[in-house]
Structure 1
Amino acid sequence: MKSSSMNTHMGNVSIDNEVIAQYAGSVAMECFGIVGMAGINVKDGLVKLLKMDSMTRGINVSIKNNKLTLNFHVIVAYGVSILAVTDNLISNVKYKVEEFTGIEIEKINIFVEGVRVID
């Protein structure tokens, strides 16, 4: 279990990486053009759309020098500008996760793993 910790005037606060990934995933799902998180089967090289209860498998959280790095593996909607969707995702996640955790985000990497037509 990896976590980040910070010292405050009232004591030590520790946040598990899974909590950060869950929150970042819920923020990402609110963004226009994001269909869902992608799960990658390394053995077969297949990409599948993850269900809401397992979306943290599509997000990697790492902490170095008290700064967060988030890697998103996403599936976007067909017909939308990938650049616009990723810019929106980066700005929303950066603002909301920094407010939620109090930890600065150094980098957000987005890997578009697929495109889906949505009804």
Structure 2
Amino acid sequence: MPSKFTSEYGNIVIDEDVIAQISGIIAMECYGIVGMAARNVKDGIVHLLKGDSLTRGVAVRLNENNVSIDFHIVVEYGTKISAVADNLMSTVKYKVKDILGIDVEHIKIFIEGVRVDKE
């Protein structure tokens, strides 16, 4: 169910995939996040997703006036998970509201793994 807005110029429709893509890009800019994760339900193995498939690690649910977003992420080893999660939540809420004009009601974060980032 896409998000619909009406302005003086006409109707605006924003698809859930667009919200997921923007949210995934925002999440990847946050400190401590190595990548988005896709879980293979059959064998429970977590796969780190590349840039083109970020939306597989993000689930979006649209309500009447707001959106709920679930993130499946892999964090960098040595970072404080609560700080990463707080940063992710506040950044996504602010930027989604700023970019799309949609309020984010709930954010759920699932830490699917920890990775040592070799530079």
TM-score normalised over the length of structure 2 = 0.95
Root-mean-square deviation (Å)? 0.8
Quick one: which amino acid aligns to residue 5 of structure 1? Answer: K
**Which residue is equivalent to 2:96?**
97
Corresponding pairs, count:
118
TM-score scaled to structure 1, two decimals?
Answer: 0.95
Q: Extract structure 1 runs of 4+ deviating beyond 4 A.
A: none
1:26 and 1:54 map into 2 onto residues whose CA distance is 11
Map 1:1-119 onto structure 2 (within 5 A).
2-119=1-118
Encode CA deviations 1:63-98: one digit per residue, 9 max, x unaligned: 112210000000000010000001001111110011
CA-CA distance at 1:43 after TM superposition: 1.4
SS at match of 1:99: helix
More strand per residue: 1 or 2?
Answer: 1
Q: C-alpha separation between the residues in 2 aligned to 1:40 and 1:101?
A: 28
- Which whole-Å CA distance do the structure 2 matches of 1:44 and 1:64 have between them? 32
CA drift of 1:8 comes to 1.5
In 2, the alpha carbon distance for the partners of 1:75 and 1:33 equals: 9
Deviation at 1:42, TM superposition (A): 1.0
CA drift of 1:44 comes to 1.3
Separation of aligned partners in 2, 1:9 and 1:87: 37
- Where does structure 1 lack aligned partners over 5 or more consecutive residues? none
Alignment identity in percent?
54
State the shift of 1:9 in Å. 2.0
Deviation at 1:112, TM superposition (A): 0.4
| Structure 1 residue 48: Cα displacement | 0.8
